[in-house]
Structure 1
Amino acid sequence: MMRVKLAFFSFGLLLLTAGISLIVKGNLGAAPWDALAIGESQLFHLSIGMCIFINGCLLIIVNSILLSERIDFFAALSIFLIGMLVNFWISYGFINISPSGLLEQFSFTMIGIIMLGVGISIYLQARLPSSPMDTFMVALHKRFGLNLNNARLLTEAIAVTLAVIFQGAVGVGTFLVACTLGFVIHFFYPIMEKIYDRWTFN
């Protein structure tokens, strides 16, 4: 049971952070929360991963209020891993990858969106402390009765607004992520849930 949980959690994190980094590499605009982190990193001279971590810690507090639960300090571990993995993919894993034209930029962005959505759908199955950004989506889903797609759209709208304020990497790609990521998660989540249940009970 725990082996399956850790496998889903680890693979999901690797996939989603690779997706985030591909979107950044596409240079059409980062995913909303990452666009915010990029703006903050330029303003405060910190790494993108560190800004992702700080934003996540702030959202942990917001989530505890929305869900009327105690602060989930273990969630800080998930967002720390996500931040460090994003730093790894950008600085080492994809360091030599650079799109040569608009078509490649668009391809990087769309592939990144799919990887990000599938990665989120996978690692959430483990029900281990998840990224505060994803918990924020789930908190809105539970608190206000929104489906996952609409809850994701709302979280992305909030992040885009903050990214604009902090002069982050907002562009066409940002709005592609905001408009499509919720659909990708909404589509793949039940598929991954069935796979997880099958592996767990075998």
Structure 2
Amino acid sequence: MMYKAVIRIVMYIAGLVLQSLGLALMIVSDLGTGPWDGFYVGMTRHFGLSVGLWLIIFGVIFIILSSYLMKCRTDFLSFMTVFILGLCIDFWLQLISFQPVEAGVKVLIFWLGLFVTSFGISIYLQGEIALTPADQFMMALCDRFGLSLMASKFLGDAGALVFAVLLQGPIGLGTLIYTFLSGPLVQFFTPRMERAVITRIKK
């Protein structure tokens, strides 16, 4: 049992670290990010503080709000997810200090970020420890108002997108690509990671 728990924890942390790296790469590419990340970058541009710190601030707010909507106790493990993501994104953005100029380099960095993010999500899900605030909020809307997962995700992403545009966040063609391809990529990677985890646990 201890071995299984260690595997789950390692997958959870490694997945979040990779996800944050992918998000940082998409931000650096300046071709567009997901709606939530665009919102955090917009907040940084207008009000200061780091992207990761804004993620942590709003992550905490959404965790508390989700608990209220679902009328359940706050999942304190979700706070760990928020802090890991926020701190890691700031770390990667500090480490990746260059700003690409050539269009070809930007495209390459964006696609690398998209694949790394999707792969990271498929890994962190194997930990089965805690959802990200955005995913938790989606589930809360679904549970409280009887919406489908698709409708709940659309409402959450649409709200973030509106604020990201108002705050002049990095919203562009990459945002559309991320919106339509991140789900299928996660769906592609997830069953493969599940098989890998099951194989490791059975050894």
Per the TM superposition, whether the score is higher than 0.5 is yes
Q: Superposition pairs for residues 35-114 of structure 1, below 5 Å?
A: 35-92=38-95, 94-96=96-98, 98-114=99-115
Q: Distance in 2 between matches of 1:86 and 1:102?
A: 23
Partner of 1:5: 8
Deviation at 1:88, TM superposition (A): 0.5
Query: What are the superposed Cα offsets for residues 33-67 of structure 1, whole Å, 9 maximum, x if unpaired?
Result: 11100111122211111001111112213332454
Query: What are the superposed Cα offsets for residues 59-105 of structure 1, whole Å, 9 maximum, x if unpaired?
Result: 2133324544322232112111111100000112x124x32321221
Q: Name the amino acid aligned to 1:31.
A: G
Identity score, percent: 30
Partner of 2:200: 199
CA contact (8 A) 2:39 2:169 kept: yes
| 2:140 maps to 1:119 | no
Partner of 1:18: 21
Q: Counterpart of 1:74 in 2: which secondary structure?
A: helix
For these two proteins, the number of residue pairs brought into alignment is: 198
CA contact (8 A) 1:75 1:131 kept: yes
Q: Distance in 2 between matches of 1:158 and 1:178?
A: 14
Q: Distance in 2 between matches of 1:154 and 1:181?
A: 17
TM score, norm. by length of structure 2:
0.86
The runs of 5 or more residues in structure 2 that have no matched partner are none
Q: Counterpart of 2:76 in 1: which secondary structure?
A: coil
- RMSD, aligned α-carbons: 2.2
Q: Distance in 2 between matches of 1:55 and 1:69?
A: 19
TM score, norm. by length of structure 1:
0.86
Q: Distance in 2 between matches of 1:186 and 1:152?
A: 16
The runs of 5 or more residues in structure 1 that have no matched partner are none
Label 1:38 to 1:126 Cα distance change in 2 as closer, same or farther (>3 A): same
Q: Name the amino acid aligned to 1:95.
A: S
Query: What are the superposed Cα offsets for residues 149-188 of structure 1, whole Å, 9 maximum, x if unpaired?
Result: x765554333212212333221222222122111212222
